[in-house]
Structure 1
Amino acid sequence: MMTNPNRDADAHVRRLWRHRGTTLPTPRRGPRQQLDLDDILDTGIAIADAEGLAAVSTRAVAAAFGKSAMALYPYVGTKENLLSLMQDQASAMPAWEDPGTTLAEALSAWALALHGVYLAHPWLTERPWSQATQGPHEQDWMERLLRILEDWAVAPRARPPAVTMLYATVRATAGTDAAYRRMSGDGAGEWLEVARATRQRIPDLADRYPLSTSLAPLTPQWQDAPRAALIAGVHLVARALATG
């Protein structure tokens, strides 16, 4: 016997896909809705961008409209639903042209575009993969990546690990890049002070760790290292796919 679908899940999916063919759920009773869902999500995204994900709550978002937290429920559902809707909305894919020259360049264009979205909304990297939205914007990124792999005849068995490696690399480098951009001159100075103190207190550090202490940086400017690492990492994955 078939069971009824979860009404909360159904309402959430309708909100996620509201611009791609579904209709928004509306309450059967009560006052007519006065807020716009896109405006609500944009407000939540603005709070997260400015103050971090921890600052986002239904109360904080509702207060921007002069409403109570409970008044927001008919529009977004639970707080987790709100965060999921914000996540998908903030993940909207910008337009870019595929280079079409090599697999490495095509994957780099995809990775750098996603990296840019994560830099614009650093809190996106804090949302675990277990909380993927299953919404249209996140689906756009996956489909675009798989289309690149398909166009370049990457073996089907290699696609799942390639997807994992590429997403993980973009998320990690974007998170580090965002942290570097937030770091003040004082923060960088403190790091250098610890490095100098370590060399003084551990004079044989290079003998103990010869490989790590002799590792050459990818770029002279440490602030540029995450982006450089992203590009280099994507090219490594592309070479592995080409030879696999």
Structure 2
Amino acid sequence: MNADAHVRRLWRKRGTTVPAPRRGPRPGLDLDDILAAGIALADADGLAAVTTRAVAAVLGKTAMALYPYVGTKDNLLALMRDQASTMPAWEDPGTTLADALTAWADALYGVYLAHPWLTERSWSQASQGPNEQDWLERLLAILDEWHIALSARPPAVTMLFATVRATAETDAAYRRMSDGRADEWLQIAQATQAHIPDFAARYPLTTGLPPRTPDWRDAPRAGLAAAVRLLAEALPVSGP
């Protein structure tokens, strides 16, 4: 891996220059076009659909033609991840910490829903690019503005990123679920009740949980909103 070239590509719109390909016709491909093609494939069919050959085919090129512009496939996926993580604009509510954190979480949630494949890549595969860094900096700015104790900030960051990611992943899975798969889930639940008639007695706390939303498909987002507010109430404020 050529780390220098990769970092220059990641930060190309924040002060670095993209390394010029040493081979291939000029003018050649555009890096943004390559990433747009890869992101479109991933949005439609998941990361499994993204290969250098598939991306190149969209652009009418060969897989080898992409290498001078993106490097390895891992480089390509990292560049795609950072590009897809571009932060949308939104106004901070300026009312409460819970409102500010909810606005941040909703914005990131929207990015994950627009690009569900982002949750397929683990934390260890973070791009280290500027767009992903923007999310962390914006979150830390909120915690700083509301004078959250320094010792509480790292766990708060972990909990918020993880909760947004997990709930958005579930939401995306619900959206992909066919009517047949939903019916199958209901049939299993009904069969469980028939064969385990004392299920509620065995698991009284589980079955006693009130539903958060009338439609189970709305539960992930509702759960996120409640979790963010619960965390906001628990975060300690630093002393004067």
User: Normalising TM by the smaller chain, what interval?
Assistant: over 0.9
CA RMSD, 1 decimal: 1.3
Find the counterpart in structure 2 of residue 236 from structure 1.
230
1:216 aligns with 2:210: yes
Shift, 1:32, TM fit: 2.7
In structure 1, the residue matched to 2:134 is 140
Question: Per-residue CA shift, 1:97-142, capped at 9, x if unaligned?
Answer: 0101000000000000000000000000111000111101001100
Residue 186 of structure 1: how far off its partner (Å):
1.4
| Structure 1 residue aligned with 2:79 | 85
Task: Give the secondary-structure state (helix, strand or coil) at the position aligned to 2:235.
Answer: helix
Match of 1:226 in 2: 220
In structure 1, the partner of 2:161 is: 167
Output the TM-score relative to the length of structure 1.
0.95
CA distance in 2, matches of 1:42, 1:27: 19
Alignment correspondent of 1:188: 182
In the other structure, the counterpart of 1:21 is 15
For 1:63, the equivalent position in structure 2 comes to: 57
The one-letter code sitting in structure 2 at the alignment partner of 1:134 is Q
**1:79 is matched by which residue type in structure 2?**
K
Q: Which residue of 2 aligns with 1:11?
A: 5
Per-residue deviation, residues 174-228 of structure 1 (Å, max 9, x unmatched): 0000011111221111111100000000011111111111111111110100000
User: Do the aligned partners of residues 199 and 86 (structure 1) sit closer, same or farther apart at CA in structure 2, a change above 3 Å counting?
Assistant: same
Match of 2:152 among 158, 164, 175: 158
Structure 2 unaligned segments of length 5 or more: list them. none
Query: Cα distance, 1:31 vs. partner?
Result: 3.5
SS of 1:22's equivalent in the other structure is coil
Q: Distance in 2 between matches of 1:42 and 1:126?
A: 18
- Runs of 4+ aligned structure 1 residues displaced above 6 Å come to none
Whole-angstrom distance in 2 between the partners of 1:243 and 1:103: 11
Aligned residues: percent identity?
Answer: 74
Q: TM-score, normalised by structure 2?
A: 0.96
Superposed CA deviations along residues 1-25 of structure 1, whole A, max 9, x for unmatched, are xxxxxx7000000000001110011
Partner of 1:41 in structure 2? 35
5+ long unaligned stretches in structure 1: 1-6
